[in-house]
C-alpha cells in the first residue's frame, strides 16, 4: 500500500475532484452527511456569480463600495449584538453619539432634548416615525373626547415601506396621485387630502421614482395656513432615506429639517448616502415629547434597565460602529466631496443622454433639487423601434443594471429609466456606460425590435 493510499483520508481532496462536484447542491433537503467546507464554500460562491456585479447595479440606492476599514470593523463586531446594551456599553455609547451627530446635522433646536435610534434601515425607521405620529394624534383626539378610529395619513408618491406601514397598522393611506405634469406632492394637491383624522403628512427627500426632493418647506407653510384657518395642527415626518445624508452637505440653504418647527421626525438610511454597510438606518424626533411614552419598553433581563423602541430585538452592531467610523473619518469635508463627485457624474450622464436626441431627461441630478440620480424617458417623437424595457434588457448583456419602470397613479403611461449615482460610480465608469448606451441605440437600428418587451418580461425591478 502506498503512503498515499494509507493516508488517503487525511489528505485534502482537490476541490474539483471531490464527490460533491458530480452532483447539484441540495436545494430542498438538508443532506445527511457533513461535507468539506472548502468544497461547499466554493460551490456556494460560484452560484453567486449569477447575482451580477453589485457595483454595476445602477438601480440600488444602497452602498456597494465599502472601504477596507469598514470590512475590518464589521469583522471585529460580527458577534456583537447591538441590543445588549449592558454587555456592550461602548457600542451603545457609539450609537448615542451617532444620534447626537445627526441631530446636530439636522438642526435640532435643542440637541439635549432630541431623541433617536438606529434601525435596520429606513423601512423600520419610517415605521417608528409613523407609529409615533399615530400615537400622538390618537392621544390628542382622546384628550379632546373625539373619535380616533379613522386615522389617515397623507403622502406624495412614497416608497413601499409607507404602504406597508398603512396596511400593517390599519391606517388609511391617502397617497396624493402623481400627475403627468406634477411628479410629486404639491402643497395645493396635499390640501385636498388632509382633515381632522390625518395623523400626519409624510414628505420625501429624494423620491424613489425620480430622485427629486419634495418641497418640505412649502408643505409646512401650507399646513401653517391650514392651522390658522381650521385650528388643526398636522405634523410632518420627513422620509429622508437618501436626502437626509445629502442635503446637509450639498444643499445647505434648503429648508427641510428640524429648522421647520412642523417637522417632528426624520428618518434616513445610513446604508444609502450615509455610506454605511447594509443594515443601517436612523430615526430622530425633534423633542423627547414627540416620541410617545407608550412606544417605549423598559426591559431588564439583559441586566440593567434598558429602554427599547425598535421593532427588532437582536441585530448586528457592526453597521452602527462603521457609521460612526465614517462620520469621523470623512467629516463634513469628506461627505461633501464624495457626494459632489456623485452629482457631477449624474449631471454628466444627464447631459450626455440629452445629446443623444431621443431621450427627455426628467431629473438631472441637481443638488438643490434632489439626489445624485438621472431619470429619463423616451421622447414622444423619438422614432425608435425599442421601448425602455428592451433597452434595459440589452444593457444588461454588458452587466449594467439600469431599471425601466412605469410611474405610479395618473402618470402610469410614462415609462422611465433611472440611474443612481453612488460612491463608486465614477465619471470614468459613467463614460463606459454612455458608450454602451450609444452601441445599444446603434444595435437597435440594425436589429429592429419586432415585439417589445412588457414591464413583466423586462428586467424585474422593485423599488
Ligand X SMILES: *Cc1c(COP(=O)(O)O)cnc(C)c1O
Q: Which residues bind ligand X (CB under 6 A)?
A: 61, 121-123, 126, 159, 161, 204, 206, 208, 239, 241-242, 269, 281
Contacts of 331 (CB under 8 A, 6+ apart): none
Rounded-to-integer distance, Cα 130 and Cα 149, Å: 16
Among residues 20 and 210, whose Cβ is nearest to ligand X? Answer: 210
Among residues 114 and 269, whose Cβ is nearest to ligand X? Answer: 269
- Smallest distance from the beta carbon of 453 to ligand X, in angstroms? 26
Among residues 175 and 239, whose Cβ is nearest to ligand X? Answer: 239
Among residues 204 and 319, whose Cβ is nearest to ligand X? Answer: 204
- Smallest distance from the beta carbon of 281 to ligand X, in angstroms? 5
Among residues 122 and 319, whose Cβ is nearest to ligand X? Answer: 122
- Smallest distance from the beta carbon of 216 to ligand X, in angstroms? 13
Specify the residue for cell string 382633515.
Answer: 195
- Smallest distance from the beta carbon of 269 to ligand X, in angstroms? 4
- Smallest distance from the beta carbon of 189 to ligand X, in angstroms? 18
Contact 62, 159 (CB under 8 A): no
Between the alpha carbon of residue 152 and those of residues 23, 142, 423, the distances in Å are: 55, 16, 38
Q: DSSP characters for 139-188?
A: HHHHHTT---S--EEEESS--HHHHHHHHHTT-EEEEPPPBTTB-S--HH
Contacts of 115 (CB under 8 A, 6+ apart): 99, 284, 285, 287, 288, 290, 291
- Smallest distance from the beta carbon of 134 to ligand X, in angstroms? 18
Which three cell numbers mark 419?
A: 440611474
Among residues 88 and 405, whose Cβ is nearest to ligand X? Answer: 405
Question: What does DSSP assign to residue 9?
Answer: G
Question: What does DSSP assign to residue 316?
Answer: B
Amino acid at each position: 500500500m502506498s503512503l498515499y493510499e494509507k493516508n488517503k483520508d487525511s489528505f485534502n481532496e482537490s476541490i474539483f475532484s471531490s464527490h460533491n462536484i458530480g452532483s447539484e447542491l441540495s436545494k430542498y433537503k438538508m443532506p445527511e452527511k457533513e461535507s468539506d467546507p472548502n468544497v461547499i464554500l466554493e460551490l456556494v460562491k460560484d452560484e453567486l456569480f449569477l447575482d451580477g456585479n453589485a457595483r454595476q447595479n445602477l438601480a440600488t440606492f444602497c452602498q456597494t463600495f465599502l472601504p477596507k476599514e469598514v470590512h475590518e470593523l464589521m469583522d471585529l463586531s460580527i458577534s456583537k449584538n447591538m441590543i445588549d446594551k449592558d454587555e456592550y456599553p461602548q457600542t451603545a455609547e457609539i450609537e448615542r453619539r451617532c444620534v447626537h451627530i445627526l441631530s446636530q446635522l439636522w438642526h435640532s433646536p435643542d440637541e439635549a432634548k432630541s431623541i433617536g435610534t438606529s434601525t435596520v434601515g429606513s423601512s423600520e425607521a419610517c415605521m417608528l416615525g409613523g407609529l409615533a405620529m399615530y400615537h400622538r394624534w390618537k392621544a390628542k383626539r382622546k384628550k379632546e373626547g373625539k373619535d380616533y378610529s379613522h386615522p389617515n395619513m397623507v403622502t406624495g408618491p412614497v416608497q413601499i415601506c409607507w404602504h406597508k406601514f398603512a396596511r400593517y397598522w390599519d391606517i388609511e393611506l391617502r397617497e396624493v396621485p402623481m400627475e403627468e405634469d406634477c411628479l410629486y406632492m404639491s402643497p395645493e394637491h396635499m390640501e385636498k387630502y388632509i382633515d381632522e383624522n390625518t395623523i400626519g403628512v409624510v414628505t420625501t427627500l429624494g423620491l424613489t421614482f425620480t430622485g427629486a426632493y419634495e418641497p418640505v418647506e412649502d408643505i409646512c407653510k401650507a399646513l401653517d395656513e391650514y392651522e390658522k384657518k381650521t385650528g388643526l395642527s398636522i405634523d410632518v415626518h420627513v422620509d429622508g432615506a437618501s436626502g437626509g445624508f445629502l442635503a446637509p452637505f450639498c444643499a445647505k440653504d434648503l429648508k427641510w429639517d428640524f429648522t421647520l418647527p412642523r417637522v417632528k421626525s426624520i428618518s434616513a438610511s445610513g446604508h444609502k448616502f450615509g455610506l454605511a454597510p447594509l443594515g443601517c438606518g436612523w430615526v430622530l424626533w425633534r423633542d423627547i415629547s414627540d416620541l410617545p411614552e407608550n412606544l417605549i419598553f423598559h426591559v431588564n433581563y439583559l441586566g440593567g434597565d434598558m429602554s427599547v423602541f425598535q421593532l427588532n430585538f437582536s441585530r448586528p452592531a457592526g453597521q452602527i460602529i462603521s457609521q460612526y467610523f465614517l462620520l469621523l473619518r470623512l467629516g463634513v469635508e469628506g461627505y461633501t466631496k464624495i457626494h459632489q463627485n456623485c452629482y457631477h457624474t449624474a449631471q454628466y450622464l444627464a447631459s450626455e443622454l440629452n445629446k443623444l436626441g431621443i431621450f427627455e431627461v426628467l431629473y438631472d441630478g441637481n443638488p438643490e433639487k434632489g439626489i445624485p440620480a438621472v431619470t429619463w424617458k423616451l421622447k414622444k417623437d423619438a422614432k425608435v423601434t425599442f421601448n425602455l424595457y428592451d433597452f434595459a434588457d440589452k444593457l444588461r448583456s454588458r452587466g449594467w443594471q439600469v431599471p425601466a419602470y412605469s410611474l405610479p397613479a395618473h402618470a402610469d403611461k410614462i415609462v422611465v429609466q433611472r440611474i443612481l449615482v453612488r460612491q463608486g460610480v465614477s465619471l470614468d465608469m459613467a463614460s463606459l456606460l454612455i458608450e454602451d448606451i450609444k452601441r445599444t441605440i446603434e444595435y437597435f437600428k440594425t436589429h429592429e425590435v419586432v415585439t417589445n418587451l412588457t414591464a413583466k418580461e423586462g428586467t424585474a425591478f422593485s423599488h
